[in-house]
Amino acid sequence: METAAQPEDRDHVAGVRARLADLVEGAPSPAELALVLRLLRSFAAKAPLAANELVRLLRAGDPVAVRDHAHSLKGSAANVGATGLAAVCAQVEDRARAGVVADVGPTAARLRSETDGAVRAAQILTDEYERVMA
């Protein structure tokens, strides 16, 4: 199923595309393309679940659990070039490290918005890379 890019996806796609270009310099080999596809598919499958869990932890109010989970999601996001999501997670992680759990309402909205954008970008680029491999 091909994911159509929307105007609001442009920055998300650009960030992910730039990160992937760093991972595979020049024309990627078939093995590199396969690796990129696994990375993108894994992120697209796991990021929404991780974001939902982070929102649940924010509601529970445990700064240590919030910090650890935000750190993990931040790393996953940064690994694929989802810089907006990584930035939200970094803010949540920093506050939690200081013992403060971010306000769940606005934080959850930003987290979900950035996750949705990052997942759409991963799906768009997955479609693109699959066409290259075909």
Share above pLDDT 90 across residues of the chain, in percent, rounded to a whole number: 78
Q: For residue 7, what pLDDT is reported? A: 66
Write the pLDDT tens digit of every residue in 5-45: 566 789 999 999 999 988 888 778 888 889 999 999 999 99
**CATH 1.20.120, applies to 8-133:** yes
Q: What is the pTM of this model?
A: 0.91
Average pLDDT on 63-83 reads 97
Integer Cα distance of 3 and 21 in angstroms:
20
Q: For residue 106, what pLDDT is reported? A: 94
How sure is the predictor about 2, in pLDDT bands with cuts at 50, 70 and 90?
low
Integer Cα distance of 47 and 63 in angstroms:
20
